[in-house]
Amino acid sequence: MNTIDVTAAEDIELRILATRARRNVLRMLDAGGSGHLGGAYSCIDIVTALYARVLRHDPANPGWTGRDRFLLSAGHKALAQYAVLALFDYFPAEVLDTYGAFGTVLPGHPDMKKLPGVEANTGALGHGTAIAAGMAMAARTSVESWRTFVLLGDGELAEGSNWEAFAMAAHHRLGNLTAIIDVNGLQISGEAEQIMGMEPIAEKMRAFGWVVQEIDGHDYRQILDALGRARVDTSAPTAIVAHTVKGEGLGRLAGTVGSHYWTPSREELGEAFIELDRRLVSLGRERVA
Amino acid sequence: MTGRDPRKAFGAAVHRVARENDDVVAISVDSGLSSGLGGMKDEFPERYIEVGIMEQAATGLAAGLATAGRIPVLCAIAPFVTARNFEMFRNDVGYMRQNVKIVGRNAGLSYSPLGPTHHSLEDCALARLIPGIAVITPADCGEIEDAVAAMIAHEGPVYLRLGAGTVPDLYETGSFRWGRGRTLSRGDDLTVISSGHITAEVIDAVLALQKQGIDVEHLALSMVEPLDHDLVVEAARRTRRVVTVEEHYVRGGLGGAVAELLAERCPVPLQVMGAPHRFISSGPYRDVIEGCGLDAQSIADRAAEFVRATAPVTTHG
């Protein structure tokens, strides 16, 4: 077993980091006026944990060939990755204020040729896992051996190309590949299960030959335990089915379909900043205590 | 004229470059052996990746491998690696600018008995629509061998279009030049431009036209993207009329590319010959080609009529 322990103090640090990341997302919305907040907030605890504790990466050398790869198949969750990359100094925080502007390096969907740290140009759903499988396959025959992590949404699972890629990764025994499925249960038109039922997701992934773990995607002990177990090189790829809340982190948006693409008024945005800032103060007190 | 099978020439050429370049990997969608890649599979099984009949994931896989320096060659029946997977071709290979080589074999009407699902009459148009994709359309097996070496040497995404059956040898091996066309005959009355495996048929049509006293400039383009602009424009300026011939729909392929170029730089009468823009009935290859007016005699007849129709009005006084 190769799990990653999380002490109480580390848990607070991770929650502070993720709250700062959520604040970075608001900063981008402040600049651009709107964005895919809901899915970014449902996965942002996982993305934070990956960069803080799991990925072998070097912000000063983002093209390091031995780096672990992390890519979004659900490319519309790019705000989460941008927010975390900024925290880890992949680019100056001021760049967040270019979100929404013509020619920004932070487009609505990620572009690997524009922003160091981005591994693939996703946004059209159902592409990421096959690309990730290629990266994982290349790692097996490279001198430097990296791991590949791909994050999908649950609504995205209706795209058949995912299931091609799931079959392929299992058939080729890509034990160095981990897919994290952000199951927030909501998509643009409503409840995922009402629009196109893909449950039981975990059972389907097992049937496709993946090692499957189910976790609460906002609980750092569970997130890091699962990512730690995935690190054990097995002969099968690992799927982490993460149950999450869309828009998690802002009281009035959490669990709402409306958070999917949020166009806040100035007042709503101001209130959201206040809510996160209060959260940071309270976490700071927990840290001291 | 001697002839060879394009698939065998292609497969052997990939096998040869794989011996020299460890980064070359073949991806098979249950298609590698019928693409002539059996030799590659036998000698380099670890660089022959079989994924079964899944062209979408295969294209993404290729892009992922390329991000780590591999040079994937994905070859299958043309519609399945251009139309079926178009968004993966566009985004994962094109937009991500990955060094992936997509190879559509049995392009055009070479699977004529199998009907429109297996005809590939829009693959050139689809590939040409994606920014940054080089499109190579070899006319014979020697040119295929050259094209394979050139596409591996070229750093960037490529679409290579192959015919099938027995293709006559036309050119000296080693004479392919990236982005450059060939002048097969010189003339002042009419420019005929062809690309791909139908060029052999066009050579016969040009001979028939010359027998009628029509002085034909025949250009054979080895690539549709980048198109050899200077060669085409120079000939069009001189002959003042142009015919294009391809085993592809009359929309969006070689004819479309030439039309776009000439409209801008040298507007002259242009006749685009290819498959009519409808789903083509299945049947024996020669019958289907004749049905589309793409046999040498039909090409010559239509071109001669085009020359008459576009002849300058002469006044007798």
ipTM: 0.96
Asked if B197 and B108 count as a contact pair (C-beta separation under 8 A), the reply is yes
Give me the residue from A112, A138, A164 closest to B57, CB to CB: A164
pLDDT of residue A56: 97
Alpha carbon of B143: minimum distance to chain A alpha carbons (Å): 30
pLDDT > 90 fraction of chain B, expressed in percent and rounded: 95
Tokens representing B151 are 């596409």
Predicted local distance difference test score (pLDDT) of residue B317: 47
* B67 contacts in chain A (CB < 8 Å): 119-120, 131, 134-135, 138
**Which residue among A127, A135, A171 places its CB closest to the CB of B67?**
A135
- Which residue in B has a C-alpha nearest to residue A66's C-alpha? B68
The residues facing A180 across adjacent strands are: A151, A240
Neighbours of B21 (CB within 10 A): 12
Q: What is the mean pLDDT of residues B251-263?
A: 98
B15-34 average pLDDT score? 97
Nearest chain A CA: its distance from B51 CA (Å): 6
> Which of B25, B47, B56 to substitute to test the interface with A, most A CBs within 10 Å?
B56
Name residue B191's beta-bridge partners: B217, B242
Rounded mean pLDDT of B95-109? 98
Find chain A residues with C-beta within 8 A of B93's C-beta: none
pLDDT at B316: 61
Question: Could A127 and B91 be called an inter-chain contact, meaning their C-beta atoms sit closer than 8 Å?
Answer: yes
Mean pLDDT of chain B: 96
Answer yes or no: is pLDDT of B1 > 90: no
Burial class (CB in 10 A: 0-12, 13-18, 19+), B283: middle
| Count of pairs with CB atoms under 8 A, one residue in A, one in B | 100
Instruction: Choose the closest CB to B61 out of A113, A160, A168.
Output: A168
Pick from A124, A133, A167: CB nearest B64: A133
How many Å apart are CA A88 and CA A21, to the nearest integer? Answer: 10
Cα–Cα distance, A163 to A53 (Å, whole number)? 29
Distance CA B208, CA B217 (A): 13
Does pLDDT of B253 surpass 60? yes
User: So what's the pLDDT on residue A234?
Assistant: 79
Low-confidence ranges of chain A (pLDDT < 70): 1-2, 233
Chain A CB contacts of B91 under 8 Å are 121-122, 124, 127
